[in-house]
Amino acid sequence: MGKAGLAIMVLATAASDSEDSDTEATAPTSGWRRANLGFVSAYILYRDGEATLVDTGVPGSEIAIRAAIGELGMTWDSVSHVIITHRHDDHQGCLDGVMYRTDEAPWYAGAGDMAAIDSPTEGIVVGDGDSVFDLEIIETPGHTPGHISVLDRAAKILVSGDAMNGADGGVIGANPEFTEDMTLANASIGKLAGFDFDVVLFGHGEPVESGAGDAVRSLAATLG
């Protein structure tokens, strides 16, 4: 969908999204919240009343994301950063709508995918070791050339995008049907296995909320 179509959609949804107010309950100090968008998810990582949104879902996902933000006692004004894990439309398709509502909070993506992400505002390229909102960026190419994952070291939370998927309460690799380079994708899982985290949040599949690091290390061992 082009910018014109997204602009029409933004205007059409603005009225139903106008319940943005400051009447929600006080937000918890820190943590994460899933915005379940059906076949894909976006995630809110937050602390002290401020939040970073990781991925935006398909066009039209603003209402579901707003609902998840509201459950935390926050509003769109609380979202200070947006991170896009990769260029596929089910992860960056609602970026324009999100930008409209966050007053164009800065957004970030990996170098290899940046050119394929269409937005009215210029994104910021991030890579290994960069920090956004005290969240560490990890380059995890394979699914796409510029795929990135996001690690909250303090909370031991990994957002893996589509570098991995959730299945049957556990962790599986990237989906070969939609992955450009499976050799690189498997190597990226091995890379992620070297980090310390307890929770892993996927673009597709149910989050693993405990023992996630061990599960990823077990998966990596099977991939050679």
Q: What is the pLDDT of residues 15-31, one digit of tens each?
A: 344 444 333 445 457 89
Give the per-residue pLDDT at 8: 30
Domain 3-12+23-222 annotated CATH 3.60.15.10: yes
Does residue 3 register a pLDDT over 60? no
Does residue 14 register a pLDDT over 80? no
What is the number of other CB atoms lying within 10 angstroms of the CB of residue 196? 9
Q: What percent of the chain has pLDDT over 70?
A: 88
Q: Span 182-201, mean pLDDT?
A: 98
Give the per-residue pLDDT at 29: 79
Domain positions in the chain are: 3-12+23-222
Give the per-residue pLDDT at 26: 52
For the entire predicted model, the pTM comes to: 0.88
Q: Span 193-218, mean pLDDT?
A: 98
